[in-house]
């Protein structure tokens, strides 16, 4: 698609979700011989896996799913069925692959036939399996946020670099053309000197009280809790036993920080692309937020945050702004959002609330062509496909571990500022707060044995 036609399309707010083919001739499967395929293991078979990560990976011929793992046996069986049904429909063969199921992903990592894993687990189970997969020499696709704490995110990024594996973070906005176009236009001065960025990000509602319930048969609840403290089981605090609606754990601080990390890493990652701050962070952060006073769900609601950067840019984040990113410069502004694209059916913003995918103070800004000698940013057509391609070519993916960690760090230190309700001075070089023991103590959390990165055994 030509650049101008694309811009007309996204400016009208019509950017849509990718529609995957369902029936492809068997001959297509021969594009890559079995020996050249990348054997994939899936860790976590829940909502984001079944609705986004597994279809997103399966669509690429070079990928070959051979294993799934989940702590809920029903979900694991659904994951196996999804893969086998997909290959049956695509190839016409009943036995194209017999997907192996693992109750514990650690056993999967011992399988030498597996080249790479996709991690689609709850937030508190991102960093540990990613680190263990890297130590096992497996390439990794991991959902955002990359970590539950700044400390474990730093360790993950360091080990990925040490082992030389290809890790892609699931910040798929980088593979949406409008986010790259917006960042390129900003980086090349089309709105003058960038001085302000405004990010629209909603909060979550409070929830009801919930009584303890029996742990469902076939669900390893203790391991699901992982490094976090033991709390009684209740369905709305974990995930639905039937169906794949938005799970309750997303609204519990024990397992994540709420929307500041849930969608925050997407928007902070994209904003950093345009701000040219991908490998650093703010020098100060302050925030105010509303938190529920009762009920099971206790992540933040409405909030306002302000981050200052050494290059003079100030970034504001609030649910009061349209969901997306607005870059403001001395000569105009650019706004970018997902438009009509959704990663899963339960994305927390209704279609009627979505803004244009790409907009500007002057339409001519969007028609501007980036010259040959100007800044051209990394181009990817699809996040999972870019990861698979980079496994083959050994080049760096569009959302590597270090950049993912830096974006996640902004989310996490913003959450710390929400809790402390005061301005914090941050050193992005040392990844510590300046002269603030209380804030620095919140960069890590106690880990419940035998789970957590402090309990990983390195050979």
For residue 435, what are the contacts with CB-CB under 8 A and spacing of at least 6?
425
The pLDDT assigned to 356 comes to 84
Q: Report yes or no on 375 lying in a domain.
A: no
Q: Report yes or no on 334 lying in a domain.
A: no
The pLDDT > 70 percentage for the chain reads 89
Q: Report yes or no on 161 lying in a domain.
A: yes
Average pLDDT of the residues in 441-449: 97
SS3 314: strand
Alpha-carbon distance of 386 to 372, in angstroms, equals 23
Q: Report yes or no on 8 lying in a domain.
A: yes
Q: Report yes or no on 246 lying in a domain.
A: no
How many structural domains comprise the chain? 1
Question: To the nearest whole number, what is the mean pLDDT of the chain?
Answer: 91
The pLDDT assigned to 303 comes to 97
Q: Report yes or no on 91 lying in a domain.
A: yes
pLDDT tens-place string over residues 238-277: 999 999 999 999 999 999 999 999 999 999 999 999 999 9
Q: Report yes or no on 80 lying in a domain.
A: yes
The pLDDT assigned to 31 comes to 52
Band (458; pLDDT cuts 50, 70, 90): confident
pLDDT tens-place string over residues 308-334: 999 999 999 999 999 999 999 999 999
Is the pLDDT reported for residue 294 higher than 90?
Answer: yes
**CATH number reported for the structural domain that contains residue 41 in this entry:** 3.40.50.720
By residue range, what is the domain housing residue 16? 3-172
pLDDT tens-place string over residues 3-34: 444 344 444 443 333 333 333 333 334 455 66
CA distances from 129 to 46, 120, 151, 183, 452 (A): 16, 10, 15, 32, 9
The pLDDT assigned to 355 comes to 58
Q: Cite the DSSP H helix spans in 105-209.
A: 105-109, 127-135, 150-163, 177-187
The structure's pTM equals 0.90
Q: Report yes or no on 215 lying in a domain.
A: no
Range with the poorest average pLDDT among 3-17, 27-41, 75-89, 445-459: 3-17
Range with the poorest average pLDDT among 10-24, 192-206, 273-287, 403-417: 10-24
């Amino acid at each position: 698609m030509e650049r101008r036609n694309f811009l007309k399309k996204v400016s009208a707010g019509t950017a849509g979700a990718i529609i995957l083919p369902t029936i492809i001739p068997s001959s297509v499967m021969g594009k890559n011989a079995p020996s050249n395929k990348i054997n994939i293991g899936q860790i976590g078979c829940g909502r984001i896996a079944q609705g986004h990560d597994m279809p997103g990976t399966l669509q690429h011929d070079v990928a070959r799913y051979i294993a799934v793992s989940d702590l809920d046996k029903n979900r694991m069986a659904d994951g196996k069925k999804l893969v086998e049904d997909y290959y049956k429909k695509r190839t016409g063969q009943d036995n194209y692959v017999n997907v192996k199921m693992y109750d514990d992903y650690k056993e999967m990592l011992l399988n030498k036939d597996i080249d790479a894993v996709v991690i689609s687990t709850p937030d508190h189970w991102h960093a540990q399996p990613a680190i263990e997969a890297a130590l096992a020499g497996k390439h990794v696709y991991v959902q955002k946020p990359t970590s539950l704490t700044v400390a474990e995110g730093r360790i993950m990024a360091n080990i990925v670099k040490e082992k030389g594996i290809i890790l892609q973070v699931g910040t798929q906005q980088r593979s949406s053309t409008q986010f790259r176009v917006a960042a390129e236009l900003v980086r090349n001065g089309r709105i003058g000197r960038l001085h302000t960025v405004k990010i629209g990000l909603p909060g979550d509602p409070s929830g009801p009280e919930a009584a303890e319930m029996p742990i469902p048969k076939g669900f390893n609840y203790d391991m699901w809790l992982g490094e976090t403290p033991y709390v009684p089981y209740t369905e709305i605090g974990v995930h639905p036993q039937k169906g794949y609606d938005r799970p309750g754990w997303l609204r519990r601080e024990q397992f994540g920080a709420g929307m500041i990390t849930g969608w925050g890493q997407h928007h902070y990652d994209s904003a950093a692309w345009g701000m040219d701050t991908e490998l650093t962070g703010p020098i100060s952060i302050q925030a105010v937020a509303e938190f529920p006073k009762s009920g099971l769900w206790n992540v933040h609601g409405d909030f306002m945050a302000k981050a200052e950067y050494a290059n003079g840019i100030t970034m504001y984040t609030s649910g009061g702004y349209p969901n997306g990113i607005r870059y403001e410069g001395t000569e105009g502004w650019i706004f970018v959002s997902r438009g009509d694209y959704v990663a899963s059916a339960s994305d927390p913003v209704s279609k009627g609330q979505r803004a244009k995918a790409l907009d500007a103070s002057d339409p001519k800004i969007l028609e501007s062509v980036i010259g040959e000698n100007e800044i051209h940013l990394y181009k990817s057509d699809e996040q999972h496909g870019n990861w698979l391609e980079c496994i083959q070519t050994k080049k760096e993916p569009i959302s590597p571990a270090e950049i993912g960690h830096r974006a996640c760090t902004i989310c996490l230190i913003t959450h710390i500022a929400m809790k402390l309700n005061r301005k914090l001075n941050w050193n992005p070089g040392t990844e510590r707060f300046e002269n603030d023991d209380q804030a620095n103590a919140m960069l890590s959390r106690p880990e419940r044995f035998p789970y957590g990165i402090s309990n990983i055994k390195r050979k």
